[in-house]
Amino acid sequence: MFEKLYDSLKETPHAGQNPETVHSGEMLRLRNHKTCRPCREEGCAALTAEKDSFRIHALFHDSDIFNTAKVNNERTWTTGDVCEFFIQPAGQDDYFEFHVTPEGITLQLHLPPVSRMGSVPFEKQIFESGMTHRVQVRREENYWYAVMCIPFAGMRITEKEAWGSRFAVCRYNYSHGQEKPEMSSTAYFPDTGFHNPSRWHRLVP
Rounded Cα distance between 141 and 171, Å, is 19
CATH of the domain at 74: 2.60.40.1190
* Residue 172 confidence (pLDDT): 98
pLDDT digits (tens, 9 = 90+) for 97-110: 999 999 999 999 99
Judge whether 199 lies within some domain.
no
16 lies in some domain = no
Domain assignment of residue 67, yes or no? yes
* Predicted pLDDT of residue 6: 62
Q: What pLDDT, on the 0 to 100 scale, is given for residue 98? A: 98
pLDDT value for 151: 97
Contacts for 31-37: CB closer than 8 Å, 24+ residues apart: 31/184, 31/185, 31/186, 31/188, 32/182, 32/183, 32/184, 33/170, 33/183, 33/184, 33/185, 33/187, 33/188, 33/189, 33/193, 33/194, 34/189, 34/190, 35/190, 36/188
Q: Does residue 15 sit within a domain? A: no
Classify residue 149: in a domain, yes or no: yes
In the prediction, which pLDDT does 44 show? 95
- Asked, for residue 12, whether it belongs to a domain, the answer is no
Tens of pLDDT along the chain (205 residues) come to 767 776 666 676 666 777 899 999 999 999 999 999 999 999 999 999 999 999 999 999 999 999 999 999 999 999 999 999 999 999 999 999 999 999 999 999 999 999 888 889 999 999 999 999 999 999 999 999 999 999 999 999 998 889 999 999 999 999 998 989 999 999 999 998 999 999 999 999 9
- How many structural domains compose the chain? 1
Domain around 120? 2-7+28-191
